[in-house]
Structure 1
């Protein structure tokens, strides 16, 4: 047993070979990802700037919107610059150290989990605003909003940090990831197996339940209650309530589809289908980051009005 363990060569760097299918059209994909990255940085920053500087937008709902967009912006900064460099190299693969891979996985997945929790906080905010309007001001105070924001950021960071710590202690027997960026699940799958790997997988599943599936169930429950209230009220009330909920629902669907693509990606990885696996990686990366500012900038009337005023150089109220 001891000699078998000594024969295992420690893996100090990993190879991301999901770029292999992009290497035939290097410049095309480079400018595509560059355009997406610039759009995300500009649009997210613009909407967050409006929320922070316009007095009429200083409400709890918009604080959560700004937090979601900040998550999207931070996640993009953690992935796109490295991806652009890797694509431009034209090698069809990227070499990354274990620690760098785990750091990227921590940032991406903790921010993804906090986005789901922020969407559940938004759903709770909308539920209180529509179904408990007389108690809304007392329950959704600035202190309560600050506490919710801290919980939505710190809980996923702590749980994902634990998953990354467990993964960092695993001995790896393989070094190739069929992805264009790092994630904890794929990292653990490179390990030599055993009880430590099983513990890491079980803990990762627990993290997903706490920061993704439970918030998703809460969102569905909250909007279900809102819909039931709307069906019993006047048409004008229902129209106004559903209009304020629509952008949040669209973003929730956006993140849910991304999670579904992530699960599909894992199945494609296991079956050894590189083309479909790479396509899923691109969709998981691009769709959520692009859709968020579009939905909040165009579908939320209050933000859209201030956006038009800013872009047309008019004085905002």
Structure 2
């Protein structure tokens, strides 16, 4: 196995694209397996289709289609046969443009700016001016406007006429201790119908389960934006328990990976990543000595990995 070919396949190779222009993650995973079996210059990669199935978890048809897409994209090329298996040459001279990372950063900045603007608009809509107040006097005088009174107060003695102005904003719910994951079954019931008090109480109920999501998510950044995205996801019909389970799986996928490629929680929620299929396990490497690496081996039967190499 060549660490140079693996690093190229994982970080530097151009991202394959589907017909709709989206990242072809299936083909990229297959490319990483080819990198594990290639020489340092990208040549002599000849794992069997069965070996690629074993490493990726894809079925035979999916693997074959991914190989054809990689070949069409110019990332691999046939280089003869080896023991009845196709031998591939990796196009390691092709590298991913630096604009890919810049585009991701720009999208993240635009998302944050849009979230801040939505938050500002939401706050401005929540501030209203009260046009009517009630006078708590023994004669029951009602004031319908700050400058219009429908009755006269004839009591000449000093009085304590308290004008109780009803706030137009719903009082915020008190802070609660973040619930554990086991409490989500009680908190993840279907959202209640809207009432006259508006959606503030409903949003507060959703946030009771947000704490469990925040505990398991691998990247704790922009908590307020994540809360907004959490409420929006629940409003679209997502179940809190399902989101937390998906976040737990995502945390396992990102374990040991470069954290800068981990999605922000708000981005993950807004894009509906909780409904994505789990990513198959990628190549696992462990350092042995110096700057060398060895592939992951089956702890029960190590020959299962090296068979057919």
TM-score (norm 1): 0.28
The structure richer in helix per residue is 1
Q: Decide which structure has the larger Cα Rg and report it.
A: 2
The structure richer in strand per residue is 2
TM-score (norm 2): 0.29
* Larger RCO (CA within 8 A; separation ≥ 6): 1
